A and B are shown apart, each in its own frame.
Chain A
Amino acid sequence: MKTVIGIDLGTSTTEAAIYRNGIVEMILNLEEEIITPSAIGIDDKGKWVVGKRAMSQLILSPQNTAIEVKRKIGTDSRISIGGKNYTPVELSAKLLEYVRTYASEYLGEDIRNAVISVPAYFNETQRQETIEAGTKAGFKVERILNEPTAAALSYGLAHMDEESHILVYDLGGGTFDVTLLEMFGGVLEVKASAGDNQLGGKDFDEAIMNSLIKDFQKKHGVDLRQQRQAMVKLKEEAEQCKKTLSKEDSYRILIPAIAKVGGHPVELDTTITRKDFEALVRPLVERTHKPIDVVLSDSGITANKLDRIILVGGSTRMPMIAADIEAYLGKAPDSAVNPDYAVSEGAAIQAAIIAGLIDPSEGLVMTDVNPYSLGVQCIKDGNPDYFSVIIPRNVTIPASKTQRYYTNYPGQTEVEVGIYQGESSTASRNHFLGDFHLSEIPANYSEVESIDITFSYNLNGMLDVTATVVSTGKNAKLSINMQNQENGPEIPDEEEEAHVSYSNWKDSPISGDYRAVIRRAERILKRLDEDDDERDEIESLLNDLKAAIANEDADEADDLEDDLVDLLESLED
């Protein structure tokens, strides 16, 4: 029988565990430690180093080391190590390769199968890229499991007979998740998940750093952000400060010779009290409230019906977190699970269920939900970009749902089914998953011919979409398969993407700042002849600007605006 391990691939730390002989066991790495820092680097001999060794070279050669890669997964960003650019997937694969090596060593067999956990609030692309990283590292990824669900599984296995509502609050290094579950008769039912992929311990560190940088600039007129070395030191000290303040009331940050001012080295010396710190990060803590509200209302369970609040993730060690939860929900969290191990333990339990080591008719059974709504783009009340939800968020999976739609104008014989994931009522602002065509609809008056669209979403994250002409039974299908890139959603090509972002720039929250210049440019464009040389230039700048606005990238938009204004001014003279 194949051995399947569970891996918690974290933003800051990574752990692995195995279920054997009826218990869960944490796997030790080559340094004989359970916790591996999620750091990857190249040492001075040009060899890859991972974990503690990479972490320890971070200060000396930050340019050869990468941390917090997980926050970048699912994006196009590249991470530079030793002057070469890597994708987040490549670097995550290095980390997982290390896990595979040490797990094989620890277990004395070649380990090739794993359950990997991800934040519940990861979207399909982020999940897909995590699988890709696993595959690159030589794993067959048996399942992607939501982190809070995993934590609950590890709790559930030890409390099989409980009947309770549990809220799992997972604040890690880079992500925040909250999940509401019900334990009943040996079944663990996830009722709702929500979260914030861009909120974690890292942001608390950065809050401290930003305040230090601001003070330093005020005092010495030097911007520390420009100096990579100083920033790395600052980051280390900020994290140390944060952790110390979890136990003590104040912390002195002392970094000698952090930068040169007027040729002389200057030190940074400040004392931060817990009160200062808590005031500084209050807005971050408040960002956890919205996801909490979402899971409560999606699951229809009021705060007073919660029996237990479980804390997971290193950042929940900050005392203000427990205090905030108690103030917000009227119930104190408890420390029922180990905040560092629970997720990987749960992943190992899921691995055992898949491997058949835990019989569902005797042992624990678990059901999970899909964290984002899935649906199609359709026309509603004249809006051609309406997002019509077919499988709503927080529905138990596997699930199949059907909705009925109509043709939109007389004689329409084909439709385009665009599939999206997300919560915006504007389809194109959600996450695009794929599209296909259904043709041979009998020509008829509008809204006579109906089309049934069925979504089937299974545990492996495979979404099958079928569109059927009700009157003839003619259908078309698309499978969006996260485990297999070839059949995966088509990634829209550059041009198409630009077009999409271009058209909805007005919906962007930052659009107001640029309306004037856009209008001005369009006025001038109209004045110009078709074959005017400047025409193309203005048009392309204008489109880039709109795209930047649509992407809410204010920096980029500001740059483009400057360029555009320069150009316009030269023309208006």
Chain B
Amino acid sequence: MQTCFEILGVSPSATQKELKRAYFSQVRIHSPEKDPDAFKKIRAAYEQATQALEMDLPVFPSSDNPKELEYEKSLQFALEKRDFENYYPQLNRSCQLFPQNQLFQYHKCRMMRARKTNAIRIAEKLVKQDPENRHYKMELALCYITQGWDKRAETLCNKIVEGGVRNTEFLKGYVPFLKAHNDYERIYTILYKLISENECQNAGYLSELTDLALDLIVAAAELDDKSRQEAAAGALTDFIQNNLNLLGEKPLVGICQKLTKKISEVSPDHRQFVRDTLYDLQNLSKDRTENRQVASIVDSDKLDKIRNDKRLPRCAEILYRAYVLNPAYHPNAVKMDARLCGIMEREKLLACRPILKKEYPIFHERIVTFLRAISTKEKAEKLKAELLSKYEDYEASYFPERKRYFYELYPDEKPEWMDDEDEDEYDYFDDDDDDDFSLDELLRRLFGRKGFGGFPF
């Protein structure tokens, strides 16, 4: 019954540096060369502990009882795949079989809260069992928030955030709560500390932190205080730059997209700071194509502004002309067209596709997918019905993901919008055989191998 911290011989409140020192001194005793099994155990504990420290996650000792361990493993898999719904009945059973196991109780509480059923009772019990445990308190606070018990939530949260908090699950519940109470002051204080101190190891955690970093910008905007706005913008820039290599291929594009969405959350008088931040982000990247994409997001933000000013018809006209005349505006023009007119006009899309294909391959791809979807939705539905009647055991929910096979059913029916240039792309869905192949053939393809599947999502 050891936790990862106990295996390494450090306290759960250790710093990363202390943790590392403990790990390396253990490795010297149990080197991979001499003692591979001990090394694996130490290594696994180290990985778990670093992650728990970094992301501020609760840590539980693993059980000695093999049966219980088996159930813990199942929980682990379900958590990794975020497959809560399917897993819930089994978790219930785990809790009945091993009522003392806090790991099960904790996660049951989380899942019940997510389903908006009353989880407070379990959370309160956990807190009572281990009053020192911050994570149980966070869980209880989140339960209060979902339940709408604002007073209790506030008192408890105030206590929790005293020593700083990094657990994103908690923050994702707490920040909207504060927003609802217009307490931007507090949001700013908590998030500024979090973002300006953070250095990430873990890509998943990073993307959650990024969301919170944008909330920081929103809070700073609402506070309408120059010096704090500057500090927030600086924290965001540093945060992005420090973690650039973990943010993926084109890190800024995603961030800017999210930030544009946030603009509407801010009260109209305070939006300028968010816009300014957006423009500043433009200069962060060294990559030209990324810059172009970011610029286009910023441009479309500009267009949004025109739209908000209710100069709609004028705007639509400018845009439609723009994509024929000025290549720099193509993607925005098309996007705006779609938004302004409320529909994607197929002719217009087709007219600008050749240019888009050359200049903005990513955007072009999206249009092709879209057009394709229009032409095959009906067919997909038809096929689904047909298949269902033939193969009753097969879960209906799976069909959307297997769209690829639907195309294979109609290889020689070329949608009318497709020009010759497209044939290659379409060919991908085409099969060797020019004939329609039968339903049986499709089923063979789906089930015929002795393969196995990944965890269902």
Contact = CB atoms under 8 A, between A and B. Distances in A.
Given A187-B27, A297-B245, A378-B452, A445 B402 contact: no
Interface string B12-36: 0000000011001101110111101
A406 B450 CA distance: 12
Contacts of A301: 245
Contacts of B40: 398-400
A367 B39 CA distance: 10
Nearest to A402: B73
Contacts of B29: 361
A382 B446 contact: yes
A408 B453 contact: yes
A302 B393 contact: no
Given A398-B40, A515-B424, A408 B456 contact: no
Contacts of B427: 506, 515
B454 A365 contact: no
Contacts of B31: 360, 365
Contacts of A380: 453-454
Interface in A335-365: 353-354, 360-361, 365
B428 interface: yes
A398 B36 contact: yes
A408 B245 contact: no
Label chain A's interface by main secondary structure: mixed
B24 A187 contact: yes
B27 A365 contact: yes
Given A187-B27, A522-B432, A405 B245 contact: no
Interface in A23-38: none
Nearest to B445: A384
A396 B381 CA distance: 48
A187 B39 CA distance: 13
Given A353-B33, A512-B424, A381 B401 contact: yes
A218 interface: no
A416 B201 contact: no
A186 B454 contact: no
B449 A379 contact: yes
Interface string A152-186: 00000000000000000000000000000000111
B33 A459 contact: yes
A489 B311 CA distance: 69
Contacts of B402: 381-382
Nearest to B403: A382
Contact of A382 (B20, B401, B428, B456): B401
A406 B246 contact: no
Contact of A415 (B202, B246, B450): B450
A353 to B, nearest CB: 6
Nearest to A401: B44
Q: Which of B36, B201, B243, B427 has the most CB of A within 10 A?
A: B36
Interface string B399-436: 00110110000000000000000001001100011100
Contacts of A400: 40
Contact of B456 (A386, A406, A412, A415): A406
A423 interface: no
Contacts of B73: 402
Nearest to B457: A381
Contact of A300 (B74, B200, B456): B200
Interface in B39-91: 39-40, 43, 73-74, 77
B172 to A, nearest CB: 23
A82 interface: no
Interface string A508-519: 000010010001
Nearest to A368: B32
B284 to A, nearest CB: 14
A560 to B, nearest CB: 17
12 contacts: A296-B245, A297-B246, A365-B27, A381-B402, A382-B402, A397-B32, A403-B77, A406-B452, A408-B451, A416-B449, A446-B395, A459-B36
